[in-house]
């Protein structure tokens, strides 16, 4: 795919190939015969940059030296940032340096400013914390310290700096850049440096990447490390729930977040907590009475456990701090609820561990963009930071974001809590509403609809199980009950509906038991079962008659491409079967992420986490035996989404996709590359290599065959093994992202069905939105008519969308994995043309 194809820029994640700076454009114009793809061409990692575009740039200008630094509190994913920056800088023909120990390293200089080789960051993706260290530096607060830091940078020839840290670290960087000219003048005037030494370094370019587990910087949807911290919290709460339920106890869980309640809110949504406290939204009036009322109602329903999550910066409506001890004492009050209550403060366990798949992807893509940004910066360019907004990596003015972040803290301090919520992004507010709806909705009877507006809604899962299905069902049922609707479970898909609806003692069609459903938030798989069978296979007439028999007013489907196909069949059959003229909507849930109409499907994040974890263990085994390659087969059908993003998260040496295909030439080139890589191996650990192949990438080459070919062609120079994680990729416990989005999207789906009401056959016939798919596109949640998706956006033979928004990331996988430029397979000839070529009636091209 040409990287300057304009179609790419209209797609999410098209940020990967924004135009390079003017210098690069001039090189392209003067060397058009080389082709644009040369920029992403052959790169065999070695100490010296490859002899390609980098060499041409070097002839035109001195080699740029870029330093990378981590500062402030550590967060999972920082090492992925460093790795991406180092390798992208080398790929772009620059020298990469790491500043160890944060600003302390800039001030002390010496061995703390180290030039990095391509192999120096090998294996860093799977490491937690920051391997180049971070430390408080009081000296940098003073001008004398910044003067020394500037001198050390000049002596090392560095005038470009990428910093990964929180808002305090990035603010310090902006001040450093503002003072840079005066610092150089002072260094020259005092004789520390000569005018000739500073001549080439008149301007300092700085780019920031936000590394923070709190997700507290305005202007970006996520910060590096926040989803990893959320995963740690949810894992701990899931474990606590087991002991809480055993002893019928209450637990107060304190999480980080002094001025930002993102972690507490998302953890509350993901785990189905009974109550949360966040700084931005104190409870109205008397929080004590409200919390006791909610907990008491939940206990009356039969719940044996109570979980309260509190952010460390929690306040009441009057700005007074709420402590875990206050909450515990209230729950344990013998004259009140009298619950056996314990406090668990998670502390720094939230920062620890390796980064989850999403944080690795975010850190890698932001690191790549940071290198491009620092090379394109001019003296007039404002200091920027790299953000993710609407699913795109973008550059934003740093200080504007810092000021907006400080406004939140000021709003909380001044008790302007509505203003604080307004300063958070739309998802934050929606998730808060979702939490309130699923935990306290049944207690608030004011939300009940009039009897005539209440609907009977069928819930059905179709296709393979995916993480988040149960969380979606739970949220949908909770919303239905809060509004007075009747949610009905259709067990085991359309097959169960058609053949077991009337079974005794339990048929496939039966009401939900809320006490049972309430515990589904963290459960994997599908508690109401699922099946790949389509309505046409079950018998369309049978399905239509059953919908009429059970008097369903709407259908809520959760599933993958089979569910998409099912909705399509039901819509088309409306003319023949009037009982199908009811509103229906689909919530995509499949690890393949191949449903048209959305960039995200429930279960895909859980799958990526499982696959990345599996590959980390495999790479560890490969590293222990040093020269070994593992070929891992991924699921995903004819969509290479999982293989590509997993390749980004584990640093794969190669990724084979159905969208590109696989040929003997590609394998031959990769074998040669691996031979050269292992020939240059200096004996370090972390020498293991991983190749990922999608299960449908080739009709001939599978993981075992490729591993055998590699082993045979290596001639004893390295070993190869295959690994097939299989259905473990469907995951056990769903990821927090899948759980949170399941809640948000499921509620929106029921609200969409609710708009139609009952007995709307005539309206449904003429309204395309009556059969729709909910999707996340950019930062927006949208409903798209299934008819439009069927006709315009679906690649039916390959069971995937026509446009793969994520495909542009494949180039980044190849670049950072050090894979040489390779030729793509020839397209297959089909139909009459194929016959004519075989018969010699048409020349082979």
Which residues make up each annotated binding site for ATP?
73, 136-137, 166-169
Provide the token pair at 823. Answer: 């030729």
Binding residues for Mg(2+): 167
Report residue 533 as tokens.
Answer: 């069978």
Alpha-carbon gap, residue 521 to 471, rounded angstroms: 4
For 624, the 3-state DSSP assignment is helix
Query: Backbone phi, then psi, for 359, in 5-degree steps?
Result: -65, -35
CA atoms of 272 and 293, how far apart (whole Å): 17
Q: Phi and psi at residue 66, in whole multiples of 5°?
A: -115, 130
Roughly what angle, to the nearest 10 degrees, separates helices 357-376 and 78-91?
A: 40
Cα separations in angstroms, 269 against 223, 226, 447: 19, 15, 20
Cα 44 from Cα 51, distance rounded (Å): 9
Distance spanning both ends of the chain, measured CA to CA:
20
List binding-site positions.
73, 136-137, 166-169, 212-214, 249, 256-258, 312, 342, 348-351, 532, 590-594, 628, 635-637, 695, 721, 727-730, 799
Report the Cα 502 to chain-centroid distance in Å. 42
The active-site residue, picked from 214, 274, 359, 814, is 214
- Going across the sheet that includes 689-694, the strands are 654-656, 689-694, 628-634, 719-723
Alpha carbon of 173 to those of 161, 169, 203, 204, 639: distances in Å?
9, 6, 14, 10, 42
Q: Considering only CA atoms, which of 365, 388, 374 is closest in space to residue 208?
A: 374
Exposure string for 561-587, b = 16+ CB within 10 A, e = fewer: bbbbbbbbbbbbbbeebebbbbbbbbb
Strands 160-165 and 250-255: unpaired
CB atoms within 10 A of CB 315: 21
Q: 343 burial class (0-12, 13-18, 19+ CB within 10 angstroms)?
A: middle
| CA angle (753, 754, 756) in 5-degree steps | 75
Sheet of 780-785, strand order: 509-511, 486-490, 456-462, 554-559, 584-588, 771-777, 780-785
**Which are the contacts of 388, defined by CB distance < 8 A and separation ≥ 6?**
220, 221, 222, 362, 365, 366, 394
DSSP state of 528: T
The alpha-helical segments, DSSP class H, found in 414-490 are: 417-423, 426-440, 469-483
**Distances, alpha carbon 32 to alpha carbons 57, 125, 822, in Å:** 15, 36, 19
What residues are designated binding site for beta-D-fructose 2,6-bisphosphate? 532, 590-594, 628, 635-637, 695, 721, 727-730, 799
The CA-atom distances, in angstroms, between 97 and each of 13, 86, 365 are: 28, 7, 19
- In this structure, the strands spanning 771-777 and 584-588 are parallel
Active site residue 214: yes
For 234-301, give the DSSP string: HHHHHHHHHHHHHHT-EEEEEE--SS--HHHHHHHHHHT-SEEE-TTSPPSS-HHHHHHHHHHHHHHT
d(CA 259, CA 252): 19
In this structure, the number of other CB atoms found within 10 A of the CB of residue 791 comes to 9
Q: Residue 388 and residue 328: Cα distance in Å, rounded?
A: 38
Q: Which residue has the tokens 């077991």?
A: 500
Pairing of strands 306-311, 205-210: unpaired
Residues found in the chain:
845
Indicate the annotated binding residues for substrate: 212-214, 249, 256-258, 312, 342, 348-351
Enumerate the active-site residues: 214
């Amino acid at each position: 795919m040409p990287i300057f194809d304009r179609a790419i820029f209209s797609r999410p994640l098209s940020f990967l190939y924004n135009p390079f700076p003017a210098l690069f454009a001039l090189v392209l114009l003067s060397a058009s015969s080389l082709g644009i793809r040369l920029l992403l061409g052959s790169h065999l990692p070695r100490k010296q940059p490859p002899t390609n575009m980098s060499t041409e740039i070097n002839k035109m200008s001195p080699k740029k030296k870029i330093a990378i630094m981590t500062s402030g509190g550590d967060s999972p994913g920082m090492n992925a940032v460093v790795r991406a920056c180092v390798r992208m800088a080398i790929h772009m023909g620059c020298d990469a340096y790491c500043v160890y120990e944060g600003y302390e390293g800039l001030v002390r200089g010496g061995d703390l400013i180290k030039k990095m080789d391509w192999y120096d960051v090998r294996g860093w993706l799977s490491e937690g914390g920051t391997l180049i260290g971070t430390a408080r530096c009081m000296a940098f607060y003073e001008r004398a310290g910044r003067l020394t830091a500037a001198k050390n940078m000049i002596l090392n020839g560095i005038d470009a700096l990428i910093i990964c840290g929180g808002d305090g670290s990035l603010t310090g960087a902006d001040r450093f850049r503002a003072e840079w000219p005066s610092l150089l003048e002072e260094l020259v005037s005092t004789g520390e440096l000569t005018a000739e030494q500073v001549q080439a370094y008149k301007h300092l370019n700085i780019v920031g990447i936000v590394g923070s587990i709190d997700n507290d910087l305005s202007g970006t949807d996520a910060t590096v490390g926040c989803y990893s911290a959320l995963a740690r919290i949810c894992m701990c709460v899931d474990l606590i729930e087991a002991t809480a339920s055993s002893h019928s106890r209450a637990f107060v869980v304190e999480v980080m977040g002094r001025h930002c309640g993102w972690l507490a809110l998302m953890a509350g949504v993901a785990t189905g907590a009974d109550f949360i406290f966040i700084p931005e939204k104190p409870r109205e009036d008397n929080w004590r009475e409200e919390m006791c009322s909610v907990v008491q109602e939940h206990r009356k329903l039969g719940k044996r456990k109570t979980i309260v999550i509190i952010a460390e910066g929690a306040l009441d409506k009057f700005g007074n701090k709420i402590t875990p001890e206050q909450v515990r004492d209230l729950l344990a009050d013998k004259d009140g609820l009298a619950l056996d209550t314990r406090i668990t403060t998670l502390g720094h366990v939230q920062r620890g561990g390796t980064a989850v798949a999403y944080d690795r992807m975010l850190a890698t893509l932001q690191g790549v963009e940071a290198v491009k940004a620092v090379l394109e910066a001019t003296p007039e360019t404002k200091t920027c930071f790299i953000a993710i907004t609407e699913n795109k990596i973008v550059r934003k003015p740093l200080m504007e974001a810092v000021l907006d972040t400080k406004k939140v803290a000021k709003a909380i301090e001044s008790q302007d809590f509505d203003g604080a919520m307004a300063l958070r992004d739309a998802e934050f507010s929606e998730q808060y509403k979702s939490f309130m709806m699923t935990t306290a909705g049944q207690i608030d009877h004011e939300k009940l609809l009039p009897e005539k507006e209440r609907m009977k809604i069928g819930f059905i899962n179709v296709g393979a199980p995916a993480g988040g299905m149960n969380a979606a069902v739970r949220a949908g049922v909770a919303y239905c009950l809060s509004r007075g609707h009747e949610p009905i479970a259709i067990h085991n898909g359309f097959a169960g509906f058609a053949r077991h609806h009337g079974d005794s003692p339990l048929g496939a069609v039966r009401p939900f038991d809320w006490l049972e459903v309430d515990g589904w938030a963290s459960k994997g798989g599908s508690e109401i079962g699922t099946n790949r069978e389509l309505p046409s296979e079950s018998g369309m007439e049978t399905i239509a008659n059953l919908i009429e028999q059970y008097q369903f007013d709407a259908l809520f489907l959760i599933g993958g491409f089979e569910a998409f196909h099912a909705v399509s069949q039901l819509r088309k059959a409306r003319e023949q079967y009037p009982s199908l003229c009811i509103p229906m909507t689909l919530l995509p849930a499949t690890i393949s992420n191949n449903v048209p109409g959305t960039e995200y499907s429930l279960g895909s994040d859980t799958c990526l986490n499982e696959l990345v974890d599996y590959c980390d263990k495999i790479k560890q085994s490969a590293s222990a035996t040093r020269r070994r390659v593992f070929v891992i087969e991924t699921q995903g059908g004819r969509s290479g989404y999982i293989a590509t993003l997993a390749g980004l998260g584990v640093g794969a040496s190669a990724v084979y996709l159905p969208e590109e295909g696989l040929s003997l030439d590609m394998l031959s080139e990769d074998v040669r590359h691996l031979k050269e890589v292992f020939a240059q191996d200096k004996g370090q650990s972390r020498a293991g290599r991983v190749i990922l192949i999608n299960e449908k990438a080739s009709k001939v080459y599978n993981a075992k065959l490729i591993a055998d070919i590699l082993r045979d062609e290596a001639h004893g120079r390295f070993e190869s093994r295959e690994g097939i994680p299989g259905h473990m990729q469907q995951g056990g416990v769903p990821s927090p992202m899948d759980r949170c989005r399941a809640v948000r999207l499921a509620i929106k789906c029921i609200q969409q069905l609710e708009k139609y009401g009952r007995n709307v056959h005539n309206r449904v016939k003429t309204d395309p939105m009556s059969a729709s798919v909910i999707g996340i596109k950019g930062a927006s949640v949208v409903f798209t008519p299934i008819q439009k998706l069927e006709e315009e956006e679906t690649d039916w033979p390959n069971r995937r969308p026509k446009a793969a928004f994520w495909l542009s990331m494949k180039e980044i996988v190849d670049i950072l994995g050090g894979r040489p430029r390779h030729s793509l397979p020839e397209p297959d000839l089909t139909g009459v043309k194929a016959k004519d070529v075989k018969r010699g009636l048409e020349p082979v091209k």
